[in-house]
């Protein structure tokens, strides 16, 4: 009896070991499979009437900025303001060293005295000329001397008009830029400072040249200031579209500047702050929009990777209509409710299995990361 019991215990232990081994092998197989399956961002297709959008970056600028220049190279004596200060119109902002101005004034005074003496001399010379005591040449030479001194006086007067004693603020506003410091030698080609009215701001976006055809005045958009880490959005409208292209300093691509105005005041933003924006395009009667990044090309034809709910891929040819900002309108080949990969790569093939990470956290799960 005891022998039979021992055999049963041994058989039970063997059975437990076998079951545990099978489960371990299944677990390792699942882990290895997951390691070999890549995760891709997916999007559930919607028929949204073909309404697209354009994403753009930009910055805050003042609508009215005054740049302060001088007409002559001068040495700064004292500066009474600094960047960020609010100033009133007519307020003294800085003064200049008076050495050069004083030298010019002394030269001007000497020329005036010389002119007065010459005028007395020519008066006497003319009287003598009438009675034969002076020649016509003597009178002519004095006239020439007088004219030379008058020209010198005009030049000194013009020089004085350009030799500023001080700078007064031309407007009320905030000092947004200041280059001049004490003992600084002024560069006439660069502004000493910039003064802006911070109560009147604008937002300037950089729109890639290939998207400009879809932008028009009055278009609605949502503005996302970086000061709020793009977590808050403010509605606005397109107010101006530049007609001149330029190279973006951040992306090095050709862009046009688009000015937009928020519908309401945005707190805590000042000129220089960065913003991003989503510009909404016109509504179409029908159409499916997918990101441009979802489309691959082969032999002149476009296709996307469609995924089943468990992550099995199929290659689907599509017919596109046109580009709407960062999206493309699909005429044929897709229907609402299907899942597509947002950023596929050319190494993928029909029947591959992937994990899906749905865009905007639509949903997650098995066959989904």
What pLDDT shows up at residue 155? 92
Give the mean pLDDT of 81-103: 90
49 confidence band (pLDDT: 50, 70, 90)? low
Determine which of 30-34, 233-237, 241-245, 335-339 has the lowest per-residue pLDDT on average.
30-34
Least Cα distance to 61 among 351, 338, 258 occurs for 258
Query: ∠ at Cα 41 (40, 43), nearest 5°?
Result: 130
* CA–CA gap between residue 27 and residue 23 (Å, rounded): 6
Confidence category of residue 18, pLDDT binned at 50, 70, 90: confident
Element (H, E) at 146: helix 136-162
| Nearest residue to 125 (alpha-carbon basis) of 116, 115, 136, 114 | 136
Any idea what the Cα angle at residue 169 is, between residues 167 and 171, rounded to 5°? 155
Element (H, E) at 100: helix 99-130
Query: Does 364 have pLDDT greater than 50?
Result: no
Q: Give the integer Cα–Cα distance in Å for 211 and 188.
A: 40
Of the pLDDT bands very low, low, confident and very high (cuts 50, 70, 90), residue 94 is: very high
- Indicate the CATH number for domain 54-63+200-280: 2.40.30.170
167-214 pLDDT, tens digit each: 999 988 889 889 888 888 887 888 999 998 877 788 999 998 888 888
Percentage of residues of the chain with pLDDT beyond 90: 22
Instruction: Kindly report the average pLDDT of the chain as a whole number.
Output: 82
Domain coordinates in residue numbering, the chain = 39-50+285-361, 54-63+200-280, 65-98+165-196, 99-162
Is residue 285 classed exposed, middle or buried when 0-12, 13-18 and 19+ CB atoms within 10 A define those classes?
Answer: exposed
Q: Can you give the pLDDT at residue 369?
A: 44
Tokens 């437990």 map to which residue?
Answer: 16
Strand partners, 53: 280, 325
What's the whole-number mean pLDDT along residues 291-313? Answer: 88
Report phi then psi at 104, rounded to 5: -65, -40
As assigned by CATH, the class of the 39-50+285-361 domain is mainly beta
Output the pTM of the full model. 0.48
Question: What fold is seen in the domain 65-98+165-196?
Answer: OB fold (Dihydrolipoamide Acetyltransferase, E2P) (2.40.50)
Residue showing tokens 């799960």: 365
pLDDT attached to residue 32: 46
Pairing between strand 355-358 and 39-44?
parallel
Whether residue 8 is predicted with pLDDT greater than 80 in this model: the reply is: no
Taking residue 54's Cβ as centre, other Cβ atoms within 10 Å add up to 23
CATH topology of 54-63+200-280 equal to that of 65-98+165-196? no
pLDDT digit string (tens) for 322-350?
Answer: 665 567 788 788 888 899 898 898 888 88
């Amino acid at each position: 009896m005891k022998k039979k019991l021992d055999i049963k215990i041994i058989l039970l232990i063997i059975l437990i070991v076998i079951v545990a081994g099978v489960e371990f092998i299944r677990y390792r197989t699942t882990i290895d499979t997951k390691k070999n399956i890549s995760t891709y961002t997916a999007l559930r297709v919607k028929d949204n009437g073909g309404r697209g959008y354009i994403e753009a970056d930009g910055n805050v600028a003042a609508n009215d900025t005054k740049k302060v220049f001088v007409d002559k190279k001068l040495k700064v004596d004292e500066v009474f303001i600094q960047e960020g200060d609010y100033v009133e119109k007519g307020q003294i902002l800085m003064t200049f060293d008076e050495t050069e101005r004083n030298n010019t004034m002394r030269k001007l005074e000497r020329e005036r005295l010389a002119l007065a003496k010459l005028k007395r001399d020519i008066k006497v010379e003319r009287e003598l000329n009438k009675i034969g005591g002076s020649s016509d040449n003597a009178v002519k030479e004095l006239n020439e001397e007088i004219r030379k001194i008058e020209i010198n006086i005009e030049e000194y007067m013009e020089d004085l008009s350009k030799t500023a004693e001080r700078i007064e603020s031309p407007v009320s506003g905030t000092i947004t830029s200041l280059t001049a410091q004490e003992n600084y030698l002024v560069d006439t080609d660069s502004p000493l400072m910039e003064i802006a009215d911070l109560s009147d701001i604008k937002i300037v976006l950089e729109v890639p040249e290939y998207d400009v055809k879809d932008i028009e005045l009055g278009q609605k958009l949502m503005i996302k200031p970086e000061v709020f880490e793009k977590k808050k959005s403010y509605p606005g409208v397109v107010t101006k579209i530049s007609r001149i292209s330029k190279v973006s300093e951040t992306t090095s691509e050709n862009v046009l500047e688009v000015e937009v105005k928020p519908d309401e005041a945005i707190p805590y933003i000042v000129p220089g702050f960065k913003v991003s924006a989503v510009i909404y395009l016109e509504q179409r009667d029908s159409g499916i929009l997918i990101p441009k990044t979802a489309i691959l090309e082969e032999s002149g034809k476009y296709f996307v990777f469609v995924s089943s709910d468990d992550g099995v891929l199929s290659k689907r040819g599509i017919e596109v209509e046109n580009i709407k900002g960062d999206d493309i309108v699909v005429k044929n080949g897709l229907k609402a409710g299907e899942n597509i990969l947002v950023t596929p790569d050319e190494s993928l093939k029909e029947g591959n299995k992937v994990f899906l990470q749905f865009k905007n956290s639509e949903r997650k799960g098995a066959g989904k990361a």
